[in-house]
Amino acid sequence: MTDKIDHASQDEAPVFPSAEFAASASLNAEQYRAMYERSMNDPEGFWGDIAQELHWFSPWSRVLDWQEPHAQWFVGAQTNIAYNALDRNVNAGLGNKRAIVWEGENGEVRTFTYAELLEQVKRAANVLLNLGVVKGDRVTLYLPMIPEAAIAMLACARIGAIHSVVFGGFSVAALADRIQNAQSKVLITADASYRRGALVPLKGKADEAAAHAEVLEKMLVVCRADCNAPMQEGRDVYWHDALAQASSEHTAEPLDSEHPLFVLYTSGSTGKPKGVVHSTGGYMVGTYLTTKTVFDLKENDLFWCTADVGWVTGHSYTVYGPLLNGASVLMYEGAPNHPDWGRFWDMVQRHRVSVLYTAPTAIRSFMRAGDSFPGRFDLSSLRLLGSVGEPINPEAWRWYERVIGGGRCPVVDTWWQTETGSIMLTTLPGAFPAKPGTAGLPMFGVDPAIVTREGDEVQDGQGGLLVIRRPWPSMLRTVYGDDARYAKTYWGEIPGVYFAGDGARKDSDGYITVMGRVDDVLNVSGHRLGTMEIESALVGHASVSEAAVVGRPDELKGEAVVAFVLLKDGHTVDAAELRQHVSTQIGALARPDAIYVADALPKTRSGKIMRRFLRQVAAGQEISGDTSTLEDPSVLERLATTPAQ
């Protein structure tokens, strides 16, 4: 790919936080700058001080040992992230504070205080030990969004077992692959899970996967539904029985700071999933600090990150980050549209959620469903909103800010990856204005740049490749079982820097706009166009609710722009008018050559558009390639094969 990504769209006007929010924010712009500067000039001093806010069983000899591409943070120190998330908070007097408030899809609510959660985790840790799990063993979790998912993760962390959470919506084949790749001896699953009122037989899928994963020895089964799943003698154990019998005494294992905490397979928008490995100490410090600062946590917040624990966002911001900060989190089992699109807002009202962190794909769905759903509820408890997972279109950003936030709540757009472990770019709420569609400034210790393939920095305003020029604590340590792939993918593409795989540009205020994956950037007549910009223009049209743009090989232009659009209820569209709209918004270059009207887009189970399939449709090819991470394979069959006129 060449260096430059052109763009012609207007930068969005900054949106300032209210004076009220700014006055109560824990960091202002000046404080951010001082901290950021120190994190650049004296990284070891900076990170050492932050790490001291947490508990270590023994101290480090050095904060950082960096031998590209391998970093060690808090070298030689011993700690335990579950101890820090639970025992430490209970010891500090938070035993009676709510740690997890969980709501089932059927409306059932369960609450765990810090003391109660700690007891469950201790019992679960003993259960794992009784099953023969030892430090360093991998344990796969295949669970719905139920409190036991968090308990199981923390129990693994407590004994030094490495958890590998596989999203409960994944297929048998995807699960078997991941068990086999991680060589897990133990699988923790549930009899079933609820999804849009229906029961999904998780245990049945787990049994099928087990038949293809010889390495598996034991299965712990949480009873979520009717406890009626067939159990295999000698292999399967009910979680509740085992926990009831296990001791509630357990001392957290002191672990080396670099001891692997978990493996997590990335969502696979771009190809074969890879097992990203995170460490204990660095990941702990990174998620602790970013949760505290980006979400400006206050003592009485109820923090709701809607991500499933099957994704890194669920790991870092449903479980570890908030609990490390002694916060109360809300966890929800089901679909956002069950029984209707008002579910989230009903929950915000009933539980008095104050911080909400969700994904653009969800925001666009809410937008499509209409303002009347949030309009029925009192959302005044909200004070801060966050977005993650994809570039957020300015249109969706503004809707979120206005309709959900009531124009009162800052919106933090957070850019990061499974690989980065914690938030890398955002605008700290209260300290900086946000620019819709733009992630923003680097977090502490993050040293980003926009460069060419050769590693030369491009000028402000010009597009290029997003890289990070030095290691940060919560950086991935390797790809499970394939360190060569780690070195090549992340540190081997561009000399001396971490390559994120995303295209981006920086404005004169230092704000970084992530334009999407480099593979998704188009080359039209020698000009580089970000898919996200064209998509945002399309979504800006009154009749379009969602759009995906891909390139199609074109003899004359190199690539032609092809758009797939979803229409708002009751709307029709004239292709010529849409083309003209894009032309006016961005420029004639971005004008789509073909526009397909679709009723759904192919997405990963985490809600991201899988453009590689759309590229095949646009080029008139048969759809091929790995479909295991696709949410709904039938979407591919339903895609129109002829463009709209």
Stretch that binds ligand ATP, among 121-129, 230-238, 268-276, 591-599 (CB under 6 A): 268-276
Select the residue interacting with ligand ATP from 51, 159, 367, 514 (CB under 6 A).
514
Binding mask 480-509 for ligand ATP (x = CB under 6 A): --------------------xxx-------
Select the residue interacting with ligand ATP from 184, 193, 269, 349 (CB under 6 A).
269
Stretch that binds ligand ATP, among 56-64, 66-74, 338-346, 410-418 (CB under 6 A): 410-418
- Residues 207, 232: contact at Cβ < 8 Å? yes
Residue 526 neighbours by CB distance under 10 Å: 11
Select the residue interacting with ligand ATP from 116, 390, 535, 546 (CB under 6 A).
390
Residue 399 Cβ, how far from ligand ATP at the closest point, in Å?
Answer: 16
Binding mask 182-211 for ligand ATP (x = CB under 6 A): ------------------------------
**Residue 42 carries which side chain, given as an amino acid letter?**
D
Select the residue interacting with ligand ATP from 266, 316, 349, 545 (CB under 6 A).
266
Select the residue interacting with ligand ATP from 413, 533, 535, 546 (CB under 6 A).
413
Q: Which of these, 160, 55, 117, 85, lies nearest to 248 by C-alpha position?
A: 117
| Residue nearer to ligand ATP on the CB measure, 125 or 175 | 175
Interface with ligand ATP, residue 283, by CB under 6 A: no
| Residue nearer to ligand ATP on the CB measure, 266 or 478 | 266
Q: How many residues would you count in the chain?
A: 645
Pairing of β 62-67 and β 70-75: antiparallel
Interface with ligand ATP, residue 422, by CB under 6 A: no
Interface with ligand ATP, residue 609, by CB under 6 A: no
Cα 256 to chain centroid distance, Å, stands at 26
Stretch that binds ligand ATP, among 47-55, 412-420, 586-594, 612-620 (CB under 6 A): 412-420
DSSP bridge partners of 112? 100
- Alpha helix stretches (DSSP H) within 188-280: 202-211, 239-245
- Residues 418, 502: contact at Cβ < 8 Å? no
Q: Which of these, 588, 601, 594, 506, lies nearest to 554 by C-alpha position?
A: 594
Interface with ligand ATP, residue 586, by CB under 6 A: no
- Residues 443, 424: contact at Cβ < 8 Å? yes
Residue 196 Cβ, how far from ligand ATP at the closest point, in Å?
Answer: 24
Interface with ligand ATP, residue 439, by CB under 6 A: yes
Q: Which of these, 86, 127, 164, 332, lies nearest to 241 by C-alpha position?
A: 127
- Residues 41, 565: contact at Cβ < 8 Å? no
**Residues contacting 552, CB < 8 A, separation 6+:** 559, 560, 562, 593, 594, 615, 618, 619
In 154-280, the DSSP E strands lie at: 162-165, 186-190, 193-195, 198-200, 218-222, 236-238, 255-256, 260-265, 275-279
Select the residue interacting with ligand ATP from 69, 144, 160, 268 (CB under 6 A).
268
Residue 138 Cβ, how far from ligand ATP at the closest point, in Å?
Answer: 20
| Residue nearer to ligand ATP on the CB measure, 280 or 414 | 414
For the record, the structure tokens of 530 come out as 């970000």
| Residue nearer to ligand ATP on the CB measure, 120 or 427 | 427
Q: Within the chain, how many helices (H) and strands (E) appear? A: 22, 32
Binding mask 320-359 for ligand ATP (x = CB under 6 A): ----------------------------------------
Residue 312 Cβ, how far from ligand ATP at the closest point, in Å?
Answer: 6
Coil, helix or strand at residue 322: helix
Interface with ligand ATP, residue 127, by CB under 6 A: no
Residue 498 Cβ, how far from ligand ATP at the closest point, in Å?
Answer: 12
Select the residue interacting with ligand ATP from 140, 189, 349, 414 (CB under 6 A).
414
CA dist 450 and 438 (Å) reads 14
- Residue count, binding to ligand ATP (CB under 6 A): 23
| Residue nearer to ligand ATP on the CB measure, 109 or 484 | 484
| Residue nearer to ligand ATP on the CB measure, 257 or 358 | 358
Residue 363 Cβ, how far from ligand ATP at the closest point, in Å?
Answer: 12
CA distances to 54, 72, 394 from 285, rounded to whole Å, are 8, 13, 32
CA dist 249 and 10 (Å) reads 60
Residue 414 Cβ, how far from ligand ATP at the closest point, in Å?
Answer: 5
Select the residue interacting with ligand ATP from 369, 388, 550, 565 (CB under 6 A).
388
Stretch that binds ligand ATP, among 33-41, 264-272, 484-492, 558-566 (CB under 6 A): 264-272
CA dist 409 and 432 (Å) reads 13
| Residue nearer to ligand ATP on the CB measure, 389 or 429 | 389
Buried b (16+ CB within 10 A) or exposed e, 108-145: eeeebbbebbbbbbbbbbbbbbebebeeebbbbbbbbb
Q: Which of these, 216, 491, 224, lies nearest to 334 by C-alpha position?
A: 224
Interface with ligand ATP, residue 415, by CB under 6 A: yes
**Which position's Cβ is nearest ligand ATP?**
266
Coil, helix or strand at residue 444: coil
**Residue 37 carries which side chain, given as an amino acid letter?**
E
Interface with ligand ATP, residue 318, by CB under 6 A: no
Select the residue interacting with ligand ATP from 31, 113, 180, 270 (CB under 6 A).
270
Select the residue interacting with ligand ATP from 28, 180, 417, 452 (CB under 6 A).
417
For the record, the structure tokens of 531 come out as 């898919």
Interface with ligand ATP, residue 267, by CB under 6 A: yes
Query: Rg for the chain (alpha carbons), in Å?
Result: 24
CA dist 332 and 347 (Å) reads 9
**Residues contacting 217, CB < 8 A, separation 6+:** 132, 185, 186, 235
Stretch that binds ligand ATP, among 382-390, 452-460, 614-622, 636-644 (CB under 6 A): 382-390
Peptide bond into 69 cis (omega under 30): yes
Residue 535 Cβ, how far from ligand ATP at the closest point, in Å?
Answer: 12
Interface with ligand ATP, residue 603, by CB under 6 A: no
- Residues 143, 189: contact at Cβ < 8 Å? yes
Select the residue interacting with ligand ATP from 43, 144, 391, 530 (CB under 6 A).
391
Select the residue interacting with ligand ATP from 43, 168, 273, 429 (CB under 6 A).
273
Interface with ligand ATP, residue 178, by CB under 6 A: no
Binding mask 516-535 for ligand ATP (x = CB under 6 A): -x------------------
Q: Which residues sit at the interface with ligand ATP, rule CB under 6 A?
A: 266-270, 273, 312, 388-391, 413-415, 417-418, 439, 500-502, 514, 517, 608
